[in-house]
Amino acid sequence: MPSELSPTFDPAAIERDVYARWVEAGIFHAEADSSNRLGGSRTPFTIVIPPPNVTAVLHMGHGLNSTVQDVIVRWRRMSGDEALWVPGTDHAGIATQNVIERQLADEGRNRADLGRAAFVERTRSFVNETGGVILEQLRAIGCSCDWTRTAYTFSPELSRGVREAFVRLHEAGLIYRGHRVIHWCLRCLTSLSDEEAEHAEETGTLYHIRYPLADQSDRSVVVATTRPETMLGDVAVAVHPDDERYSAVVGHDLLLPIANVRIPVIADEYVDREFGTGAVKITPAHDPNDFELGLRHALPMPVIMAPDGTMSEGDDASGRVPPELRGLDRLIARQRIVDRLRERGALARSESHQHGVRHCYRCDTVVEPRLSDQWFVRMKPLAEPALAGVRNGRVRILPERWEAVYINWLEGIRDWNISRQLWWGHRIPVWYCGACGDAPIVSRTDIAECPECGGPVRQDDDVLDTWFSSWLWPISTLGWPDEAATDLRAFYPTDVLVTAPEILFFWVSRMIMAGYFFMGDAPFHTVYLHGTVRDMEHVKMSKSLGNGIDPLDVVALYGADALRYTVIAGLGMGTDVMLDPGNLEQSFGPGRNFATKLWNMGRFLLSNVGDAEVPLLADLDQAKLTRADEWILNRLDSAIHRCDAALGPSHPAAGTWSDAELRVGLRLMEFTEEARRFTWDELAAWYLESTKPRLSAGGDDAGVARAVLVHVFDAALRMLHPVVPFITETLWQRLPGRPPGAGMFLARAAWPRPRATGAASGHARASEFELVRESVSAVRQIKADYGIPLGKSVDAVLVARDGAARTLEEERALIGHLARAQVRTATEVPSGAAAHAVLTDGSEVIVPLAGTIDVEKECHKLRTELAQLETQLAALRQRLDNHGFVSRAPAHVVEAERAKSTEWGARRDQLAGKVRALCGS
């Protein structure tokens, strides 16, 4: 066939079509009825995608994340599981709202100009028109998602789940409204959870400010602060109760400069005597610690800053903010206040100071602690089962070290602020009745009037944190809160969750909590945390830094398979993937080369086998298999074993992970390398090459070679398919016995299995092929040593260890072909100069090189080898002579060492004899 196949593979020519045929054939669709949880015959295997933001476009991080999931899902699908990969997107509250607000800003407007309803409508239509682009892009890299189940966190179905979750938690007493200091983003004008306010070390200034005693202005207490503007909200100065420096002033009043209010000096153990001056200004409304302290001491909590970060007199702050400071941004006000303090001599000193500052994870603005009313989820009760689940092996986290991080975090978990002062998101299902009072009415359905008094009600203005919908993702996408939903029963709990460690707390741990709380079980048994895509300087790839690589560019230039191969082959467990944005060829060339290699193996096979059907391996007369056949079938079995060991087990056999299972599997890099190594280094380099003379000779043996060739190549394509699905599918469909249109797909073909054990005779014959390989390598090396072109034929003589001729015809033919040599028997050993190589079994390969032999060189080579062997042998024998070793080492180790010693001894004698004969002495 196919001379019509070009020597290089053109991915662009086939990818789109192959993908379309997969979808058309329903390859990616999972049937709930097939799940054995619903009486079907297949084990379900489910992955839910970490939903990308609905406005996202594909970047390398998605490429990595999605490829990992696809490899796993395709592996399980081929292994016979009812494999489901649920795709979808996240409405991404703050992120999406920010996109629209930027649009409005470009138009010279803001969200207030539009009003809430119009803003939400605009966002919704923007999402409808442009959202979900990334889902299209996932198809371009071959993701085998079940598109019939595409979900969206803000869809009516999932929104129902969100509301149900809120109500149930509220009924359980786990949701409450709290008046406390939270993180406030001045730019997004919303509160943030602790996780959304990211720490960063910064150098600021620590100001030491003198607060005079109210009744004794020549005495004062000096406080230290990094945020002097907050002093307007001070209500006390706190010192440690045992701090003798201040014991005299505790209970006295100070006169707060600028604001000119009297504030007391109080004692509290919270204060660290060592830090600063040992006296802390207390601003309950603008600092979380001060807030706690304010509660303990029943202090007032004046708010001196507006939501946008300008100075203003809020609750309880009347008269505190001087008119000339009102309306100023806090940082400008800070400078003014410092200036004024300095003028009055109230600034004792200022010094540079390293401290942690929190930033909004969405816009990087420095967040302000701010006193406000928010909704919170009580996390301790939710965290307990989530903690137990990981501790008892119901859930494992890979790589293992993240488990300690997870546990550490959950043990110290704090309540979750879930209300956001945004417009884009799930509105909090709480209403207030103006007539009955403040009691919130929590409802599953929208209400128009008060159920008590029939009066008008007003819905809470806030929306829920985006993660309040994401944490339901594994259950909501499968139909929850309808607990009888078919998908939920068929596919929950899911299996593996694949994501980056950055969202372990945001998302993963909360999903585990939600799974236990709402469904009574963990949402998955394995969390696979992969690394980050970085450039060659180890800087995280990002669009804004300009060091990104567009996966679609890579697909266009190198093909989707090359992209997938590159990220998987470069991905150690938990390690980062380094790619070079400045040199795509270096990064993706190897992947493309591998695809080309496969392509050419396919070309060879197809042109030598043709379209004619070949017998199945099992139908062959096993006695007709050659040593090469046995060898490659053996190597295939070994490769399958290794691939399976790298990938599995797919789930814990007993429901929870046993110690033996806990840390194994999902070694995608090792799996890929093993499949590649087998295909390239064994199948292509040795077996395929060895079949050439047999195929051209024709006859029965050519038929055997064809059958084995097809069998092994088929198996290799199966193993490689999860990583490089497009090219393997294309080649597989062209193999003999797969008529076009028969609806056969590699994507649904069975995962290869090793032959039944017991082929012991085959094993012996296979190991004889290893000697062929050694002989070939020996001849090639001699040729390279003497500068003889590989293509130039030489004579070669094989001599067994006992001096007898090795006369096996198959062996001689193979070596002759693979090493380009005329292989002769020992009786024909020429008397002239020759190059020698001693093989591991003590047998020899001799290449007569009359006239060109360099005896010096040859002797040097042999002597070096001999010396090396003797050193090693001596060390080995010393170990064996050692008492402790023989008595304490495990028997099999001792046995192996003894066998080795015998083998090396024989080889040493062989070599030594060679040296004597050739070099004298």
Partner RNA sequence: GGGCGAAUAGCUCAGCUGGUUAGAGCGCCUGCCUUACACGCAGGAUGUCGGGGGUUCGAGUCCCUCUUCGCCCACCA
Residues 524-563 contacting RNA, CB under 7 A: 538
Report cis status (omega within 30 of 0) of the bond before 399. Answer: yes
CB neighbour burial string for 767-804, b if at least 16 within 10 angstroms, e if fewer:
eebebbbbbbebbbbbbebbebeeeeebbbbbbbbeee
The residues in 177-196 that bind RNA, with binding defined as CB under 7 A, are 194-195
User: Which residue, 46, 50, 45, is CA-closest to 529?
Assistant: 50
Of 404, 697, 804, 855, the residue at the interface with RNA (CB under 7 A) is 404
278 is a contact residue toward RNA (CB under 7 A) = yes
Helices 699-720, 725-732: axis angle to 10 degrees equals 150
Could you tell me if residue 69 is left (phi over 0), alpha (psi between -120 and 50 degrees) or otherwise beta? alpha
CA 302 to chain centre: 47
592 is a contact residue toward RNA (CB under 7 A) = yes
Of 54, 175, 280, 464, the residue at the interface with RNA (CB under 7 A) is 280
Nearer to RNA, 155 or 777 (CB): 777
Nearer to RNA, 423 or 599 (CB): 599
User: Which residue, 752, 543, 732, is CA-closest to 642?
Assistant: 752
Of 593, 638, 733, 807, the residue at the interface with RNA (CB under 7 A) is 593
Residue 657 Cβ, how far from RNA at the closest point, in Å? 14
281 is a contact residue toward RNA (CB under 7 A) = yes
295 is a contact residue toward RNA (CB under 7 A) = no
920 is a contact residue toward RNA (CB under 7 A) = no
Residue 400 Cβ, how far from RNA at the closest point, in Å? 8
The residues in 650-679 that bind RNA, with binding defined as CB under 7 A, are 663, 669-670, 673, 677
The residues in 468-507 that bind RNA, with binding defined as CB under 7 A, are 501-502, 505
- Which range touches RNA (CB under 7 A), out of 49-57, 127-135, 590-598, 824-832? 590-598
The residues in 10-39 that bind RNA, with binding defined as CB under 7 A, are none
Distance CA 457, CA 451 (A): 9
Distance CA 670, CA 642 (A): 9
Cβ 771 vs Cβ 791: under 8 Å: no
Distance CA 98, CA 133 (A): 18
255 is a contact residue toward RNA (CB under 7 A) = no
Nearer to RNA, 96 or 672 (CB): 672
275 is a contact residue toward RNA (CB under 7 A) = yes
Parallel, antiparallel, or unpaired for β 347-360 and 197-213? antiparallel
638 is a contact residue toward RNA (CB under 7 A) = no
Cβ 354 vs Cβ 198: under 8 Å: no
Q: Tokens at residue 211, please?
A: 């607060």
Residue with tokens 């008590």: 452
x-or-dash string of contact with RNA, 824-863, rule CB under 7 A:
----------------x-----------------------
Element (DSSP H or E) covering residue 778: helix 760-785
Nearer to RNA, 273 or 378 (CB): 273
The residues in 688-727 that bind RNA, with binding defined as CB under 7 A, are 688-689, 692
Of 216, 607, 658, 822, the residue at the interface with RNA (CB under 7 A) is 607
Distance CA 84, CA 70 (A): 10
126 is a contact residue toward RNA (CB under 7 A) = no
604 is a contact residue toward RNA (CB under 7 A) = yes
Residue 7 Cβ, how far from RNA at the closest point, in Å? 4
Nearer to RNA, 158 or 541 (CB): 541
Going 329 to 335 to 339 to 340, the CA torsion angle's sign is: positive
Residue 861 Cβ, how far from RNA at the closest point, in Å? 11
- Which range touches RNA (CB under 7 A), out of 130-138, 316-324, 565-573, 739-747? 565-573
The residues in 414-453 that bind RNA, with binding defined as CB under 7 A, are none
The residues in 194-233 that bind RNA, with binding defined as CB under 7 A, are 194-195, 198-199, 201, 206, 223-227
Query: Other C-beta atoms within 10 Å of 494: how many?
Result: 26
Distance CA 574, CA 401 (A): 10
Report cis status (omega within 30 of 0) of the bond before 789. Answer: no
- Which range touches RNA (CB under 7 A), out of 155-163, 244-252, 276-284, 427-435? 276-284
Residue 734 Cβ, how far from RNA at the closest point, in Å? 14
Residue 24 Cβ, how far from RNA at the closest point, in Å? 29
Half-sphere exposure of 116 (CA within 13 A, CB side): 9
Residue 724 Cβ, how far from RNA at the closest point, in Å? 13
459 is a contact residue toward RNA (CB under 7 A) = no
Residue 590 Cβ, how far from RNA at the closest point, in Å? 4
- Which range touches RNA (CB under 7 A), out of 161-169, 286-294, 340-348, 731-739? 286-294
x-or-dash string of contact with RNA, 776-795, rule CB under 7 A:
-x--xx-xxx-x-xxx----
Of 121, 272, 308, 483, the residue at the interface with RNA (CB under 7 A) is 272
Nearer to RNA, 745 or 904 (CB): 904
Residues in the chain: 921
Of 603, 635, 738, 765, the residue at the interface with RNA (CB under 7 A) is 603
Distance CA 325, CA 232 (A): 11
DSSP 72-122: HHHHHHHTT-EEEEE-EEB--HHHHHHHHHHHHHHTT--HHHH-HHHHHHH
Residue 225 Cβ, how far from RNA at the closest point, in Å? 4
Residue 8 Cβ, how far from RNA at the closest point, in Å? 4
The residues in 881-900 that bind RNA, with binding defined as CB under 7 A, are 882-885, 888-890, 893, 896, 900
Helix (H, G, I), strand (E, B) or coil at 831: coil
Distance CA 783, CA 160 (A): 75
Distance CA 838, CA 148 (A): 63
What SS3 string covers 702-713? Answer: HHHHHHHHHHHH
401 is a contact residue toward RNA (CB under 7 A) = yes
589 is a contact residue toward RNA (CB under 7 A) = yes
Residue 836 Cβ, how far from RNA at the closest point, in Å? 15
User: Which residue, 700, 683, 719, is CA-closest to 605?
Assistant: 683
Of 147, 432, 745, 904, the residue at the interface with RNA (CB under 7 A) is 904
Burial class (CB in 10 A: 0-12, 13-18, 19+), 582: exposed
Task: List Cβ neighbours of 412 (8 Å cut-off, separation of 6 or more).
Answer: none
Nearer to RNA, 90 or 535 (CB): 535
In the 8-state DSSP scheme, what is residue 677?
H
The residues in 352-371 that bind RNA, with binding defined as CB under 7 A, are 355-356
Residue with tokens 């094989």: 798
